[in-house]
Amino acid sequence: MATTVALSSSLKHHLALGVRIPQSPALCRRNGGRVSTFRSFPVAMATPLEVCVKASVTTPNKLGDCPFCQRVLLTMEEKHLPYDMKLVDLANKPEWFLQISPEGKVPVAKLDEKWVPDSDVIAQTLEEKYPDPPLATPPEKASVGSKIFSTFIGFLKSKDPSDGTEQALLNELSSFNDYIKENGPFINGEKVSAPDLSLAPKLYHLEIALGHYKKWSLPDTLPHTKSYMKTIFSMESFVKTRASPDDVIAGWRPKSAGVFFPQHMKYIIAVQRVSFSQLVNGLLLDERSQNSLPLLAF
């Protein structure tokens, strides 16, 4: 099996859920079967939190390039919560993972004995369960910079330099620049907070993907956005949880290539439980029959 899994020591939790998570012999040898992280933990927690995250596609047993996963890991780091990462190969999703996450998406975190999907929900739940140190912001600040990611994707996918997608991104980055100039250095002022932890991984992807696929970089007219990125990207928690540039580049390849992704392919993903990467790589691998079927057959 191509999937790499970092096992938690808390086998009891899996048994309670009725899901058996297979062990990866390589990982078990490497680190007692787990990719655990321990910094300084003022919070007394008996068991590390379990979290399923995307595995690297370039380096075995490494964290991959999901900005939503990084957001969750950053939240746990900033709250000094110990966690166990289970690395999931999204190109070959194992059955135990699909039982935990029927939509086949990461991140998924185990909170109060339940597997919880979606970084918004996970971050909110962590805030409620572990309010100290607080990462919450007033509601009006929660959406600062929230259109940057979608405009970045629009520009990355664009093949027409005059279609306005670059300008749309610049407008969002410029509003953000003005906001940080007035209110910074972080979105909520002096301290990092939840919206920073959501936005920063997306800005990291933006910088690497646009640099690689469009030879584009942030203009010097946005110094506050630039210094914001520099500050967050050098935080210990960010360095520890970031994906490698090679993974980020690989992850955005389908979008930058403008891969056609019609509705019936979404149906194949849902029913056959194959991944986006399998589809774009041109093969549909049926795990149960072990047959490789040409994508054109669909």
- List the catalytic residues: 66
We find the least distance from the C-beta atom of residue 106 to ligand GSH, in angstroms, to be 4
Q: Which is nearer to ligand GSH, 88 or 144 (CB)?
A: 88
We find the least distance from the C-beta atom of residue 144 to ligand GSH, in angstroms, to be 17
**Could you give the CA distance from residue 275 to residue 105 in angstroms, rounded to a whole number?**
10
- Which helix or strand (DSSP H or E) is residue 84 part of? strand 83-88
Q: Which is nearer to ligand GSH, 120 or 236 (CB)?
A: 120
Half-sphere exposure of 114 (CA within 13 A, CB side): 7
We find the least distance from the C-beta atom of residue 32 to ligand GSH, in angstroms, to be 27
**Could you give the CA distance from residue 202 to residue 213 in angstroms, rounded to a whole number?**
16
- Helix, strand, or coil (residue 10): coil
We find the least distance from the C-beta atom of residue 118 to ligand GSH, in angstroms, to be 4
Site of interaction with ligand GSH (CB under 6 A): 54, 66, 68, 90, 104-107, 118-120, 275-276
DSSP annotation of 141 reads G
Q: Which is nearer to ligand GSH, 170 or 280 (CB)?
A: 280
C-beta separation of 102 from 157 below 8 A:
no
- The residues that bridge with 283 in the sheet, in sequence order, are 294
**Could you give the CA distance from residue 276 to residue 1 in angstroms, rounded to a whole number?**
18
Q: Which is nearer to ligand GSH, 222 or 265 (CB)?
A: 265
